[in-house]
Amino acid sequence: MDGDLDYRRIARPTQRIVTGRVVRLLDGYPRELKIGQPVLVAVVTAASVMGLLLLAFRSLLSSGGGGARRTWKELRKGPEFLVTPLRLRDSNDQLCEVELHGHLAQSALHPADWVQITLKPQDPDLPPRVEQIVNLTTGQLLRPRHATLWSHLGPPLLLQAILGALLVLVVAAAILLI
């Protein structure tokens, strides 16, 4: 095994901003994003109210059913995103490991590039996550993007949930005013 990548000597940086040289980008692997059930219940419930209204409207027009819906299990599972471990040698000549979540262009980072990385802590068992990278060698500002709860649920379901929540609020206001 390469002495530069000896696991016993790999540290986890504690600073928010680390400057150093990229040693190695390891192979990426998928990780599932955890979804909080209360948020999902609220969105699906509000979307169901609007869905019932749209279903009644469609049955009046007899235009058939809508598109395929995702099941509760599929929504609860959460999206997967790419995690790429990144090893770098910091300004104190210490080997550090951080995690890069999401995708970057193939040519964005190379071994021996000087970078300034802004980090965000994660679970204590995991290395910190990269928020942004300034590649000092090329002058590029890189921000990896990964899937979120909102991108997983999708615009149609979110729009339907917003309309359903507004419908519930209008009906509740009308009942209170009567």
State how far the Cα of 113 lies from the Cα of 90, in Å rounded to an integer.
12
Number of domains the chain is built from? 1
Residue 72 in any domain: the answer is no
Residue 41 in any domain: the answer is no
The CATH number given to whatever domain includes residue 131 is: 2.40.50.140
Contacts of 130 (CB under 8 A, 6+ apart): 86, 98, 99, 100, 101, 117, 118, 119, 120, 144
For residue 95, give its domain range: 15-30+81-140
| Average pLDDT score over residue span 43-54 | 81
Query: What percent of the chain clears pLDDT 90, i.e. is strictly above it?
Result: 17
pLDDT tens readout for residues 139-175: 888 888 776 777 777 778 888 888 888 888 888 888 8
**pLDDT value for 119:** 92
Instruction: Say whether pLDDT at 79 is over 80.
Output: no
**pLDDT value for 67:** 56
Residue 69 in any domain: the answer is no
Residue 53 in any domain: the answer is no
Instruction: Say whether pLDDT at 1 is over 50.
Output: no
Residue 42 in any domain: the answer is no
| Average pLDDT score over residue span 7-28 | 83
Residue 85 in any domain: the answer is yes
